[in-house]
């Protein structure tokens, strides 16, 4: 990308700049002054700096807050910077350090614990909303995408260039590239092509010294770490180069539901045995919720089977009859579409629209808000026995919550072939499927949030015997502060291992080594950032 040429000279500029600045009391006024006086800034920086008194501050802060309970937080940024280019990020990094402010970086704002825009310390929000350029090169089958773009924008851009190229990442169009890629990123093509992070081939990161580094300059350790280790511990990732993947011009999708009365339990039992072993062109996810039965009007469990098949319906039907006949999939349940059509369809499942929207709907900036939300995750090594499932059904039916769901995503396929240490994301052949739990609620008032939190914690506790242990694995992109927190980034490696091993298994130590090397003063930190190693631990 065009801005790369600026990075060699940068360190020199900083050294000069510092030597002429008097040190001053920490305050955001001084921080802002530092920005305004910063040398070598390409665009006028005063156009992208918002203090709390600015009339646009609140709407800007709020515009990508996905989870409402964090929009009320009193821990707001002192200043929001919405950089237009690399030099403005470099200035923000240097001036923040100089004036004792931390930085939180926000791309799509979908963090489950709001860590991209809430902090208990004085901080600057670096909101990457203006950095959303996407360049697709169909000839080399690659694309450069900036972190502030959304998955929907990436998918749309690819579809405008080619009907037979796609990208394997998540199914929600409004998710940001920056958080998603750096934590892994999975979707309906995971079994065929792996995670978003598995398909990253280069990246541009700005480090703690303000240097802009590409893959070669950052070195393989750091490049390894930002693919699954979370971006926030290492610097600001500005852009990613990805490998696009071939997709057939016709793919098939389905979305069929079965209640307990329609053998949902039996189908799930069979699904647990086969879903991870199927042809890697197919991924069948299952969403489990409670609903009112149309037959008896009382609560029952509904399992919704949702699938993408990279091929036509003629091939899908026999495949399903051989492997999961219990589902009774009918040709009429299936829809043939283009790959971008499937992306629209799966986003529709999530936001509850019809699925017949045009590809342009992927660019919709008015994102669906889930209201209040709490999520958790688990990984499963062997099928959950029927008593386990039945107990779970009872738990869901008795829950005093507005909405609770479990989403099961099968592993296997290429996930079995990629080694645990290939990139920082470590959850591979050890697991047969992944569980994503969440609850949402709209009602406000005393005890409502607590009731929903209590439920999901009880559910998580209930599942303990059926899921992975030592460590009980979790997915960093479904961030969960219940599994452990740093004292704002200052925790020993041993203490941090409580949650670190859950997210990263055997990769946690290497992540800590990389962190210690690239950010030895621990400037980039949050409640679950990678810790610094002491001399003995290194």
Ligand X SMILES: Cc1cc2nc3c(=O)[nH]c(=O)nc-3n(C[C@H](O)[C@H](O)[C@H](O)COP(=O)(O)OP(=O)(O)OC[C@H]3O[C@@H](n4cnc5c(N)ncnc54)[C@H](O)[C@@H]3O)c2cc1C
User: Given the rule CB under 6 A, which of 169-177, 284-292, 428-436, 516-524 is the region that contacts ligand NAG?
Assistant: 284-292
User: Given the rule CB under 6 A, which of 21-29, 112-120, 279-287, 298-306 is the region that contacts ligand X?
Assistant: 112-120
Catalytic residue among 112, 475, 478, 493: 478
Quick check: 263 binds ligand NAG (CB under 6 A)?
A: yes
Is the distance from CB of 475 to CB of 390 less than 8 angstroms? no
Choosing from 11, 15, 121, 291, the residue that interacts with ligand NAG (CB under 6 A) is 291
User: Given the rule CB under 6 A, which of 89-97, 158-166, 179-187, 384-392 is the region that contacts ligand X?
Assistant: 179-187
Residue 206 Cβ vs ligand X, minimum distance, rounded to whole Å: 9
Quick check: 88 binds ligand X (CB under 6 A)?
A: no
Tell me the β-bridge partners of 393: none
CA distance 311 to 50: 49
Q: How many CB atoms lie within 10 A of CB 156?
A: 22
Quick check: 183 binds ligand X (CB under 6 A)?
A: yes
Q: Say which entry of ligand NAG, ligand X, none residue 110 contacts (CB below 5 to 8 A, set by partner kind).
A: ligand X
Quick check: 294 binds ligand NAG (CB under 6 A)?
A: no
Is the distance from CB of 391 to CB of 472 less than 8 angstroms? no
Is the distance from CB of 88 to CB of 111 less than 8 angstroms? no
Exposed/middle/buried for residue 216 (C-beta within 10 Å: 0-12, 13-18, 19+)? exposed
Quick check: 128 binds ligand X (CB under 6 A)?
A: yes
Quick check: 116 binds ligand X (CB under 6 A)?
A: yes
User: Given the rule CB under 6 A, which of 44-52, 243-251, 486-494, 500-508 is the region that contacts ligand NAG?
Assistant: 44-52
CB nearer to ligand NAG: pick between 217 and 355? 355
Quick check: 241 binds ligand X (CB under 6 A)?
A: no
Angle at 395 (CA atoms; ends 393, 397), nearest 5 degrees: 70
Residue 321 DSSP code: H
Tell me the CA end-to-end span of the chain in Å, nearest whole number: 35
CA distance 255 to 445: 35
Is the distance from CB of 137 to CB of 316 less than 8 angstroms? no
Choosing from 14, 35, 41, 49, the residue that interacts with ligand NAG (CB under 6 A) is 49
7 flagged as catalytic: no
Quick check: 130 binds ligand NAG (CB under 6 A)?
A: no
Choosing from 55, 59, 332, 470, the residue that interacts with ligand NAG (CB under 6 A) is 55
Quick check: 142 binds ligand NAG (CB under 6 A)?
A: no
- Whole-Å CA distances, 422 to 4, 186, 355, 527: 27, 16, 36, 26
Quick check: 83 binds ligand X (CB under 6 A)?
A: no
User: Taking Cα atoms as reference points, which of 277, 310, 274, 304 lies closest to residue 291?
Assistant: 304
**Helix locations, 429-531, DSSP H:** 448-463, 493-504, 508-518
User: Taking Cα atoms as reference points, which of 294, 283, 313, 230 lies closest to residue 507?
Assistant: 230
Q: Say which entry of ligand X, ligand NAG, none residue 97 contacts (CB below 5 to 8 A, set by partner kind).
A: none
Pairing of strands 49-51, 79-81: antiparallel
Quick check: 269 binds ligand NAG (CB under 6 A)?
A: no
Q: How many CB atoms lie within 10 A of CB 331?
A: 11
Choosing from 232, 275, 301, 316, the residue that interacts with ligand X (CB under 6 A) is 232
Q: Is the sign of the CA dihedral 305, 308, 314, 320 positive or negative?
A: negative
Q: Say which entry of ligand X, ligand NAG, none residue 392 contacts (CB below 5 to 8 A, set by partner kind).
A: none
- Whole-Å CA distances, 64 to 128, 202, 370, 405, 487: 11, 27, 12, 23, 26
Which conformational region is residue 194 in: left (phi greater than 0), alpha (psi within -120 to 50 degrees), or beta?
left
Quick check: 106 binds ligand X (CB under 6 A)?
A: yes
Q: Which residue has the tokens 């305050």?
A: 27
Quick check: 292 binds ligand NAG (CB under 6 A)?
A: yes
Quick check: 109 binds ligand X (CB under 6 A)?
A: yes
Contacts of 110 by beta carbon, 8 Å cutoff, 6+ apart: 64, 66, 172, 174, 175, 176, 179, 180
User: Given the rule CB under 6 A, which of 73-81, 168-176, 333-341, 445-453 is the region that contacts ligand X?
Assistant: 168-176
Q: Which residue has the tokens 């979370």?
A: 230
CB nearer to ligand NAG: pick between 358 and 465? 358
Q: Residue 222, preceding bond cis, omega within 30 degrees?
A: no
Residues 472-501: x where in contact with ligand X by CB under 6 A, - otherwise, as a string:
-----x------------------------
Phi (first) and psi of residue 429, to 5 degrees: -70, -10
How many residues of this chain interact with ligand NAG, rule: CB under 6 A?
Answer: 30
User: Taking Cα atoms as reference points, which of 259, 293, 289, 288 lies closest to residue 401?
Assistant: 289
User: Given the rule CB under 6 A, which of 49-57, 124-132, 140-148, 453-461 is the region that contacts ligand NAG?
Assistant: 49-57
Residues 346-385: x where in contact with ligand NAG by CB under 6 A, - otherwise, as a string:
--xx-x---x-----x--x-x-x-----------------
Choosing from 236, 267, 396, 474, the residue that interacts with ligand X (CB under 6 A) is 236
In the complex, the residues that contact ligand X under the rule CB under 6 A are 66, 104-112, 115-116, 128, 147, 170-172, 175-176, 178-180, 182-187, 231-232, 236-237, 477
Per CB under 6 A, residues contacting ligand NAG are: 46-50, 54-56, 68-69, 72, 255, 257, 262-263, 290-292, 304, 328, 345, 348-349, 351, 355, 361, 364, 366, 368, 444
Please identify every residue annotated as catalytic: 478
């Amino acid at each position: 990308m065009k801005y790369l040429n600026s990075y060699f000279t940068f360190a020199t500029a900083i050294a000069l700049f510092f030597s002429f600045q008097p040190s001053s009391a920490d305050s955001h006024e001084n921080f802002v002054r530092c920005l305004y006086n910063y040398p070598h800034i390409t665009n006028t920086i005063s156009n992208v700096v918002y203090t709390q008194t600015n009339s646009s501050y609140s709407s800007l802060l709020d515009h990508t807050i996905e989870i409402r309970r964090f929009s009320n937080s009193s821990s707001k940024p002192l200043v929001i910077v919405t950089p237009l280019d690399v030099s403005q990020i470099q200035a923000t990094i240097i001036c923040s350090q100089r004036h004792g402010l931390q930085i939180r970086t926000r791309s799509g704002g979908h963090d489950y614990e709001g860590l991209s825009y809430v902090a208990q310390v004085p901080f600057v929000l670096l909101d990457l909303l203006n950095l959303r350029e996407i360049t697709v090169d169909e000839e080399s089958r690659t694309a450069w995408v900036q972190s502030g773009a959304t998955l929907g924008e990436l998918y749309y851009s690819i579809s405008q260039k080619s009907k037979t190229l796609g990208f394997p990442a998540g199914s929600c169009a409004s998710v940001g590239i920056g958080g998603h890629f750096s934590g892994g990123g999975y979707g309906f093509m995971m079994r065929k092509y792996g995670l978003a992070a598995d398909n990253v081939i280069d990246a541009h990161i700005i480090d703690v010294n303000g240097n802009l580094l590409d893959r070669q300059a950052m070195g393989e350790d750091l490049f390894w770490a930002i693919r699954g280790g979370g971006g926030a511990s290492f610097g600001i990732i500005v852009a990613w180069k990805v490998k696009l993947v071939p997709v057939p011009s016709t793919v098939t999708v389905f979305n069929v539901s079965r209640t307990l009365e329609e053998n949902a339990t039996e189908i799930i039992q069979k699904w647990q045995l086969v879903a991870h072993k199927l042809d890697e062109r197919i991924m069948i996810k299952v969403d489990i919720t409670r609903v009112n039965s149309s037959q008896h009007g009382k609560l029952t469990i509904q399992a919704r089977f949702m699938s993408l098949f990279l091929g036509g319906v003629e091939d899908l039907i026999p495949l399903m009859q051989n492997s999961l006949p219990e589902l009774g999939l009918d040709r009429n349940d299936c829809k043939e579409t283009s790959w971008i059509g499937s992306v629209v369809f799966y986003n529709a499942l999530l936001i509850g629209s019809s699925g017949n929207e045009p590809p342009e709907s992927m660019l919709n900036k008015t994102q669906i808000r889930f209201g209040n939300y709490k999520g958790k995750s688990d990984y499963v090594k062997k099928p959950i026995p029927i008593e386990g499932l039945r107990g779970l059904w009872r738990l869901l039916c008795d829950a005093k919550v507005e909405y609770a769901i479990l989403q099961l995503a099968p592993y296997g396929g290429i996930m079995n072939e990629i080694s645990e240490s290939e990139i920082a994301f470590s959850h591979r052949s050890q697991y047969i499927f992944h569980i994503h739990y969440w609850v949402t609620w709209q009602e406000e008032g005393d005890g409502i949030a607590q009731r929903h939190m209590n439920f999901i914690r009880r559910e998580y506790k209930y599942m303990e015997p059926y899921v992975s242990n030592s460590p009980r694995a979790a997915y960093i992109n479904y961030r969960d502060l219940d599994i452990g927190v740093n004292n704002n980034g200052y925790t020993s490696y041993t203490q941090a291992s409580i949650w670190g091993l859950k997210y990263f298994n055997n990769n946690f130590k290497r992540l800590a080594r990389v962190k210690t090397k690239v950010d030895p003063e621990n400037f980039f930190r949050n409640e679950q950032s990678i810790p610094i190693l002491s001399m003995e631990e290194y």
